[in-house]
Amino acid sequence: MLRIAMAADEPHFLGHRQRLRERILKNPHEAESYELLELLLGYVNKRSDTKPLAKDLLKHFGSLWGILNAHPTELETIHGVGESSKIFFILLRELVARYFVEPIKEKKSVTLDDIAMLARCMLDGLCHEEIWVALLDNNNRLLSFDRVQTGIMDAAFCSAKMIAEIAITKKASALVLIHNHPGGVTKASWADRETTLHIQKVMKLMGIRLLDHLIIADGKVISLANNHLLDENETILNDNEKSIL
């Protein structure tokens, strides 16, 4: 009798959640995005109906990609998102990023596309600028992928000295400079190009090759090398730069 009374007191959504779990385990590819999100949130909010929250998040941010790239302060604007949910999304984003990043780091030789993928995983969707460097040896093996500087909404300062110190410490022979444009502008600014050319000259004096400068913006990766912007005799293109991804 006690068991029956307890079952009657259980929230109605617990039975639904169990059925959803069983269905997704059988065929996760057929599940709707909100159902996947609903079930994941159920592990954070065990005593709440997470279906309305999952739908509200997708409606507000447009997609799972939008949710994972949302800043914690943006998530707070959605009713039902508490501290546990914010931590959950931070952890989920980091897990997804590392899922793509770790195989790249294990390669004996990486390509520019590999570095671009790695950069997108780490920088795409940030609401502030960050500057990173991918450091390589003579065989194009990735030695490390390091954050150089964190800035504000639309600016981050980076000196050639800061990059040189990291490159020397890691015994790098070449590097790729990377930063993001939170505003989504898919174009290198004059400041981007001037800074790149200065860093390029300093690295050359040290015997380190600057292979490229990648800009992450609006889901795209812009290559200054592909757009001939590492050569000081070239002019900046008037239209949007070519994207490599």
**Mean pLDDT across 143-150:** 89
Structure tokens at 138: 């003579």
Q: How does residue 232 score in pLDDT terms, banded at 50, 70 and 90?
A: low
Q: What is the pLDDT of residue 218?
A: 81
For residues 190 and 218, give the distance between their C-alpha atoms in angstroms, rounded to a whole number: 19
* Averaged pLDDT score across all residues of the chain: 84
pTM above 0.85, yes or no: no
Q: What is the pLDDT of residue 185?
A: 83
- DSSP-based helix, strand, coil % in the chain, nearest 5: 45, 15, 40
Q: What is the pLDDT of residue 171?
A: 94
**13-17, 155-159, 193-197 — which one is most confidently predicted on average?**
193-197
Q: How does residue 157 score in pLDDT terms, banded at 50, 70 and 90?
A: low
- Judge whether residue 243 has pLDDT over 50: no
User: Does residue 37 contact residue 55 with C-beta atoms inside 8 Å?
Assistant: no
How far CA 157 is from CA of 103, 120, 129, 228, 236, in Å, comes to: 30, 20, 9, 23, 21
- Judge whether residue 74 has pLDDT over 90: no
Q: How does residue 6 score in pLDDT terms, banded at 50, 70 and 90?
A: very low
- Judge whether residue 52 has pLDDT over 60: yes
User: Does residue 149 contact residue 164 with C-beta atoms inside 8 Å?
Assistant: no
For residues 237 and 139, give the distance between their C-alpha atoms in angstroms, rounded to a whole number: 32
Which among 46, 39, 49 has a CA at the least distance from the CA of 12? 49
176: phi then psi, degrees, rounded to nearest 5: -120, 125
Q: How does residue 9 score in pLDDT terms, banded at 50, 70 and 90?
A: low
Q: What is the pLDDT of residue 231?
A: 63
**Mean pLDDT across 115-133:** 87
For residues 237 and 148, give the distance between their C-alpha atoms in angstroms, rounded to a whole number: 27
Better-scored residue on pLDDT, 15 or 92: 92
Provide the percentage of residues in the chain whose pLDDT is more than 70. 86
Which among 151, 149, 145, 200 has a CA at the least distance from the CA of 170? 145
Q: How does residue 88 score in pLDDT terms, banded at 50, 70 and 90?
A: very high
